Structure 1
Amino acid sequence: MAMMRAAFYDSYGPPEVIYVGRAPVPTPRKGQVLVRVGAASVNGGELFARAGRLRLLTGRRFPKAVGIDFAGRIEALGPGVRGVGAGEDVWGVLPRGRMGTAAEFVAVDAGRVAPIPAGLDAIEAVSLLAGGTTALTGLRDKAALRGGERLLVRGAAGGVGSLAVQLGKVFGAHVTGLASARTGDFVRGLGADEVLDYAVTGPGDLGRFDVVFDTVGGRLPEFRRLLAPGGRMVAVAFDASRILRDVGYLFASVVHGSRRVRFFSGDPRRELLDELAVLVGDGSIRPVVDTVRPLSEVAVAHRALEDGGVRGKQVIAI
């Protein structure tokens, strides 16, 4: 049986619970492709899962795998696969609730992969993937952001926020980014019209916005009050220490009031990947790589993202 290297953890805890072990190379089932992974990235939801803050959803069965997005090359096809072939360079995101791309190989439904945008390598491509599809869905489909509107991006330097800033400008909005002082110049370089230090700028110091895009979580009522009449707030993260309060608040916002809050978790398929590739191809958005690390340093990448202050993505080169 062919074996591969992959990242796992055997108990919930800090980043250091992650280790690189060995597992059988998966066999693609009907409708699946086997991808030799070139790169994966670290995403915020994985930190919560690994720390055990979502254990009611993730359960207590171990070991658990690591990684949700990937860029690589198709190695083999399962029965019944059409439209793609071995040797093609592709990118994709695993279905909601599944992890395992921090590994040398991953088997995934063929409908969840699409060609990597021309001119990008695996590392550049994966830095755009989960953040880009989340920001595109949140701003275009959930918030219906329009030209001339005022957009606030909370967590503007991170893997999702850095793409939201770029897409906000694509849609013609006036973009204000909330980020740390040390990442301010980075966020301005992405096109933000204004960047404010979240350590010294609270919600009460801000004006009105048509759309608030929140990648941080927590303090949702305070940021919702910044919405102009008819404003929309899109939350793509929870403060895990206050998750029940946040969920209750989101539910109430759907029922009451004109300033609505929406939460969603991305689950992109090929159509959305292709739409993102068009934006990459015409230069509307660009890769946002903070640091590239080998598979052996997955835990270090988790720690770096958890500590904050990153500029774009922590990428794992397989």
Structure 2
Amino acid sequence: MKAVQITSYGTADVLHVNEVARPAPGAGEVLVSVEASSVNGHDVIVRAGGLKMVSGRRFPIGVGLDFAGVVAETGADVEGYRAGDRVWGTVHPRERHTTGGAAEYVVVPADRIAPAPVGISPVEAASVVVAGTTALIALRDSTHLAAGERVLVRGAAGGVGTAAVQLAHAMGAHVTALARDRHTRLLTGLGADDVFDYGFTTSDRIGPFDVILDTVGTELNCYRSRLAKAGRMVTVGLSAPALAAIAASSVYGPRRIRTFSANPGTAVLRDLAGHVTSGALRPVVNGVYPLSDTAAAHEAFEQGGAAGKQVIEVTA
């Protein structure tokens, strides 16, 4: 089968489509015929060598954190799935993989998949797996957003951001989005009550907010200061300075800067599918690339400024 792999750490040109052996599912595992996968920050960081402590220095390394496709085969002790079922899911972000979602087939534990939502294409499904579960966990589980609260989504036009705007709106919050001015119409259509251009809006000009969801990872202390008295803040934009800010913020107790490792299992994926099926969450796809153009998809992601996700279509 064909699989995109990293042959060394570096820029997008270290990505290659290689011929590899098709994996077989073991006990408790499922073999999925992949139809689409998306580009996530985790994929780019691994490729660039930012997670060497986890990914190691043995190559090749697989690419693609998420996928949507069809069950091809099940291993022993797998219940609830059979060949032909449409599913979506993720590979484990903290484990080294020789193949990931950007491949014709992927093997994962059965507790890392769930039935894919009906009514959308595999490309659309792949675009919201990681982005949607990250936003859902951030708003529902990490900050406990409640109806009537004011929430700021920073980096609102990205994959996590567009999902967060929609989910926060569905949860009954007043949603303020920070993004480029050119994305105002899109974000308003997704449920944002206010949209500010981050190039011209400093943190001291907006707020206060009950919840802040940051996807950028910079100026965290400035935005934390815009929390209301019982406010909560979470960031998914991790870097060395961001981690330092998170650690230093512990002195603020409940108003500290939080983070988490989004590692969704079946339950979260099922919950997310419900939001998609109900119409509360709709996919926002920026670009679709064939497996052979995965490097171009990574480059588009790194350029930034686009609304929505870059998706790799594995089987057309």
Q: TM bucket by the smaller chain?
A: over 0.9
CA distance in 2, matches of 1:246, 1:130: 21
Q: Which residue of 1 aligns with 2:27?
A: 30
Equivalent of 1:313, from 301, 309, 312?
A: 309
The offset of 1:211, in angstroms, is: 0.6
CA contact (8 A) 1:229 1:258 kept: no
Deviation sequence 1:173-197 (CA, Å, 0-9, x none): 1111111233222222211111111
The offset of 1:227, in angstroms, is: 0.6
Q: Which residue of 2 aligns with 1:284?
A: 280
The offset of 1:251, in angstroms, is: 2.4
Q: Secondary structure at the residue paired with 1:237?
A: coil
**How big is the alpha-carbon RMSD for the aligned residues of Structure 1 and Structure 2?**
1.3
After TM superposition, list the pairs within 5 Å mapping 1:103-142 onto structure 2.
Answer: 103-142=103-142
CA distance in 2, matches of 1:206, 1:55: 38
Q: Which residue of 1 aligns with 2:49?
A: 52
Paired amino acid for 1:183: H
Q: Which residue of 1 aligns with 2:6?
A: 9
CA distance in 2, matches of 1:109, 1:304: 31
CA distance in 2, matches of 1:55, 1:223: 30
Q: Which residue of 2 aligns with 1:194?
A: 194
CA distance in 2, matches of 1:23, 1:181: 45
Q: Which residue of 1 aligns with 2:146?
A: 146
Q: Which residue of 1 aligns with 2:157?
A: 157
CA distance in 2, matches of 1:20, 1:89: 25
CA contact (8 A) 1:183 1:309 kept: no
2:293 is the counterpart of 1:297: yes
Paired amino acid for 1:107: V
After TM superposition, list the pairs within 5 Å mapping 1:57-68 onto structure 2.
Answer: 57-68=54-65
CA contact (8 A) 1:142 1:234 kept: yes
Q: Which residue of 2 aligns with 1:87?
A: 84
The offset of 1:96, in angstroms, is: 2.5
Q: Which residue of 1 aligns with 2:250?
A: 254
The offset of 1:56, in angstroms, is: 3.0
Q: Secondary structure at the residue paired with 1:114?
A: strand
Cα distance change on mapping 1:222 and 1:89 into 2, 3 Å: same
- Structure 1 residue runs of 5 or longer lacking an equivalent are none
Paired amino acid for 2:276: V
Q: Which residue of 1 aligns with 2:182?
A: 182
Q: Secondary structure at the residue paired with 1:29?
A: coil
CA distance in 2, matches of 1:296, 1:135: 29
CA distance in 2, matches of 1:188, 1:122: 26
The offset of 1:220, in angstroms, is: 1.1
Q: Secondary structure at the residue paired with 1:160?
A: helix
Paired amino acid for 2:305: G
Paired amino acid for 2:137: T
CA contact (8 A) 1:70 1:126 kept: yes
CA distance in 2, matches of 1:208, 1:91: 37
Paired amino acid for 2:2: R
The offset of 1:58, in angstroms, is: 2.5
TM-score (norm 2): 0.95
The offset of 1:205, in angstroms, is: 2.2
- Matched residue pairs, number? 311
The offset of 1:258, in angstroms, is: 4.1
Q: Secondary structure at the residue paired with 1:256?
A: helix
The offset of 1:69, in angstroms, is: 0.4
CA distance in 1, matches of 2:246, 2:6: 32
- Structure 2 residue runs of 5 or longer lacking an equivalent are none
2:248 is the counterpart of 1:274: no
CA contact (8 A) 2:42 2:65 kept: no
Deviates more, 1:32-41 or 1:256-265: 256-265
